[in-house]
Amino acid sequence: MKTWTGILLMIILAVATISTTSSARTMNESQKQLNIDDQSSQTAAVAASNIETMNETSFTTKEAASVKEGYISVAPENESIRLYPMKVEGSGYIYNGMVLEVNGKTREFSKWQGEGGSYKPEVHELDLNGDGKKEIVVLFTAGHGTGIYLGEAHIIDPETLEEMKMQSLDEIVKQHVNSKVSVAPGQVTIDITVDGVHAEPSLIEEDTSGGVYNEELKFGSVVYYSVEDGKLVVSASGAYGTGVYDGDLTFAYTYQDGEWKAADLKYSMEVYEEEFYESFD
C-alpha cells in the first residue's frame, strides 16, 4: 500500500515538473520572439524615420538653394555682398522681406518689400562720400504702374549692418524747393525755385476744363534711384496734376552731420510723351 502511494506521488511530481518546465520554456521562447519582433519594429521605424528626415532635409536644402540662386543679387564691386528675399510671392515677382549678406554675416530686413523679375533689386559697395570707408547701397522697386514708379534706396553700414539715416524726399522738397502751379483755360503755368535759383517758368498748353491740378508740384509718384560715378543719385518727377508731370528734381546724397542729405539739387524740364506713362505698365 505504502509502495503504491509512493509511486503515485513520484508520478504526480514528475508531471508537475515537466509542465512547469514546458511553461517556462514556452514563456522564454515567446519572450525571445517578442524581443526579436520589437527590435525589428524599432529598427524599421528608425530607418523609416531617417528616410523621412533625409527626404525633408533634402527638400528644404534644395528649396533654399533654388531661392538663393534664382533671386540672389551680387554686388558688382564685391562678390561677398549678396541680397536675396526672405520670402518670394506672386510667382517670383514680389520679395517679401530681404536678407543682406556681407562677408558671411547676414541680417534680415523684414520691412523691405520690393519687386523681382525685370525689376530685380541691386546691391552695391562703394565709398559714397570719399572718406575712405565704403558703404553698402541697396536699390529696389517698391511698386510701379501707369504713370507711377516707386524706387527705394537704403544705405547700410558694412560693419554693423545697421541702416544709416537718410533724409526723406518729402523733407528734401520742403527744405529746398518752392513751386506754384497756376491754371487758366487752356494753359498751365509752373514756377519753381530750387535753393533760391529760379528756373524758367513752364507754359503748358492743354485742355484744362476737366483736369485735376495741384497748387504746387508734388514729388514722390515717380522716383528713380541709381548709382552713377560712385554716387547715389535720385531723380524725382514733379507732378502738376493727376498723372501729369513737368520735369525732374535731381540730386545726390552726401553725408552731413550724421545723416545722408541731398546735395547738388537741380530741376530740369522734360516733355513727357504718351510712351512715358505706358513704360510703367
- Per the model's pLDDT, the better-predicted residue between 164 and 63 turns out to be 164
Nearest in space to 140 (alpha carbons), one of 94, 78, 200, 90 = 94
Alpha-carbon distances of 44 from 39, 47, 135, 161, rounded to whole Å: 8, 5, 56, 48
Q: How far apart (Å, rounded) are the C-alpha atoms in residues 281 and 278?
A: 6
pLDDT digits (tens, 9 = 90+) for 61-89: 333 344 557 799 999 999 999 999 999 99
User: Which string of DSSP letters, residue by residue, matches 40-96?
Assistant: HHHHHHHHHHHHHHHHHHHHHHHHHHHHHHHH-EEETTEEEEEEEESSEETTTTEEE
First to last CA, the chain: 120
Q: The pTM is what? A: 0.72
pLDDT digits (tens, 9 = 90+) for 104-129: 999 999 999 999 989 999 999 999 98
